[in-house]
Structure 1
């Protein structure tokens, strides 16, 4: 197998396996957020990507795709049930999102998580060049850095945590809390979305492991009387702003946005775009909108809410229940407040290509991002990027990581339904001059801090530690 200087390790490969009309399998790039974020970083590098191929028991040899080596990791149905649906999404996801849903602690899930994380580490160890860099992605693989360091002490390891990291009082509930911290500290650089997340991580280290922390660093004992410096800080992720700006100038997409507005027909188009997940605050958003209609502050002829909720984890009961609840709310609201001509809520339980999403962003007067807890939320940044005429209003949850950077949005506490209602009305009625002032500030932030800068910033810290280690080894051997 060929090797690479930069190896990305993620739960999924950046491609989906599809079958053509003749039944021959092929691969196409995935539309997921992680793939989109790393696409720009990997583009100019001769790298490798380790991840699951998307189907249970799929055995595929490593292969080339768009100039990168892809290394599939085989996962069985039991692995997917216990490691992915179980520990990753039944334990870690709700725990790290402030226990919006109750986490489940099963020892069999943890055992599967350990087993699969070790498998990913072994695959990365095989493909990384001597002295190379391995960049591990997200909460499904928190143990990989430690396992990889045991297998390949010569490589420099980065880990980026795309979701929130919880406060100590919540994290302390996890029966395997020390093992998770030790797994993460196998990395040389541990990155988070928000300053608060990095702070939560360091507090947990001090409380549970008693390792000294200072500023953005942790001193980790190496077992031989020495310590190893680990950087633990925030690197807010972003988008490929130029790509979204280019799409927003496409005449076909502009025409599509105009057609969408004409089809909706109302004075104001409110837009929500989310994965169907209990962390995204969709229920709270629908409740606020329904109450505005009930109060008479809005009518279906004055404003329509278009809610895109892309399918997510359909096999998990909590997500099935969430879908049922949302669809009942939409049906009840439309039954009470729609007319023959106008629809109060247009609900779309499906994903759309990027071009259609940009058309929706261009069509929307108000973007509603009301997550109860979110690592970043790139939809907010995508909406801002395409508004080249500086019109439109972003209503943004203060509990989304994007709120740290997009302070000129109208920030809301989505749990406060009355406050959310007032903010939606303020957004609808905002004068054009105020819209322009706020949007201009946010667009500058998004364009100045794009995904390429995020990747460069993280990898620069990785490379600095890599060089420091090489210099020290050279000095020791002199």
Structure 2
């Protein structure tokens, strides 16, 4: 029998991407995503396995080891990528879970593909997990895995964590197969959410659609119990500080300011190109502030990084067109020769370049319409100048923890403009005081602490209703 593992992570993607080097040889490189960065710190030093899709359609590569982690690829066909991932995960679930900012699409064939792929993931986890192992399942793409895995391996301790919001019952109600999702999740021993409101939304849905008893944050299934509560994710603060403190990154931060003509203030936005991130609202606010004369295009520069995302989904193609049209309009109206008002980059950057941008930026604009957490806000706080300013949407999970930020409602364009101006014009000591408090929060609530809290809560989660519940402070 092949080697099995006491700790298994299951996520839609493996933590590596296959890339072809200049010499033509293929190699695996660590992915830039937030989940990978977070879990990398957790997996380090463990004899663990990671189950996920390798990123290419067709047969999966053979399992392999990378940086002390066993990687177990799960295959997806071209059709499954279209139906399970681009379809049900990102054109059905994602819009519903993000307040129906765009209208979701419901297709029975997509649901069938979602079920089939979840079953394959559950089987892969069952194959690599040792007797009594802990399996940690991640995110909205794998909501049926906990129950499927429990049927295959009742000996396992199963946890699930949702990186995105969980919708209010009124929105969740729209989902065909909503009961199937709730039952799938209740296969876990412990369910972690970004915010208390998300856990509450899940528990209300369970009460309403499965007619189960819920006491506090515990669901009574009769033969066992499941706990659902908030365990907000964070970042590897120490690792990021180490990147920031290198001479190269510090020099690059100075160079960025020089390249922009040493403006009075650099504003920065860093997002996946996603309609939940509020990029269009933010650009409109910036354009209006230039038009109002409150901002001067020679003194105030905006850098907007929009990382490519789900480029084959129509809503994302449309968004890219709209954003690029807005960028062109703003630069056409307000740029001077040799001095662009708005620098827009539709590409990914490595950790060092991002750290340099954070260090160079005076004001960070994190203004999603809805976000599970938003780790960029925490990364900026870790890297920015002592008098840096964070403008933060109240609809992010981060807003719960980062209360000293300049809070905004991104739907209210007039209010958003006022908050941006407040962050730009606030006295230096006000900005420093706020940032000092934010740094204190982010430096103590690290991703390592998050994982420790989550895994402690998973191990302590009630197995039967008669167990004492609610005693673990997660």
Structure 1 length as normaliser, TM-score?
0.95
1:404 matched to 2:400? The reply is yes
Question: Match for residue 471 of structure 2?
Answer: none
Which has the higher mean CA deviation after the structures are superposed, 154-163 or 19-28? Answer: 19-28
C-alpha separation between the residues in 2 aligned to 1:342 and 1:59?
48
Q: Are the counterparts in 2 of residues 156 and 466 from structure 1 also a CA contact under 8 Å? A: no
1:209 matched to 2:210? The reply is yes
Question: Match for residue 254 of structure 1?
Answer: 250
1:379 matched to 2:376? The reply is yes
Q: Are the counterparts in 2 of residues 90 and 104 from structure 1 also a CA contact under 8 Å? A: yes
C-alpha separation between the residues in 2 aligned to 1:217 and 1:411?
33
String of CA shifts for 1:170-208, please: whole Å, max 9, x gaps.
Answer: 000101100000000000000000010001001101111
3-state SS of 1:279 partner: helix
C-alpha separation between the residues in 2 aligned to 1:59 and 1:312?
22
3-state SS of 1:11 partner: strand
Which has the higher mean CA deviation after the structures are superposed, 449-458 or 23-32? Answer: 23-32
Query: What is the aligned length?
Result: 465
Q: Hey, which bits of structure 1, 4+ residues long, moved more than 6 A?
A: 466-469
- 2:301 pairs with one of 268, 287, 304: 304
Which has the higher mean CA deviation after the structures are superposed, 209-218 or 88-97? Answer: 209-218
Question: Match for residue 422 of structure 1?
Answer: 418
3-state SS of 2:102 partner: coil
Q: Which runs of 5+ in 1 are unaligned?
A: 222-226, 473-478
- Shift in CA distance, 154/466, structure 1 to aligned 2, threshold 3 Å: farther
Question: Match for residue 441 of structure 2?
Answer: 445
Question: Match for residue 284 of structure 2?
Answer: 287
Give the C-alpha shift of residue 59 in structure 1: 2.6
1:365 matched to 2:362? The reply is yes
- 1:335 pairs with one of 332, 336, 355: 332
- 1:319 pairs with one of 307, 316, 321: 316
- Shift in CA distance, 339/23, structure 1 to aligned 2, threshold 3 Å: closer
Question: Match for residue 81 of structure 2?
Answer: 80
String of CA shifts for 1:142-167, please: whole Å, max 9, x gaps.
Answer: 00000000000000100000000000
Question: Match for residue 56 of structure 2?
Answer: 55
Give the C-alpha shift of residue 218 in structure 1: 1.1
Give the C-alpha shift of residue 84 in structure 1: 0.3
1:7 matched to 2:8? The reply is yes
- 1:393 pairs with one of 378, 389, 394: 389
3-state SS of 2:147 partner: helix
Question: Match for residue 169 of structure 2?
Answer: 168
Give the C-alpha shift of residue 30 in structure 1: 1.0
Listed as ranges, the matches of 1:50-129 within 5 Å are: 50-129=51-130
RMSD: 1.5
Give the C-alpha shift of residue 427 in structure 1: 0.7
3-state SS of 2:187 partner: coil
Give the C-alpha shift of residue 258 in structure 1: 0.6
Give the C-alpha shift of residue 20 in structure 1: 3.6
Q: Which runs of 5+ in 2 are unaligned?
A: 469-474
Question: Match for residue 350 of structure 1?
Answer: 347
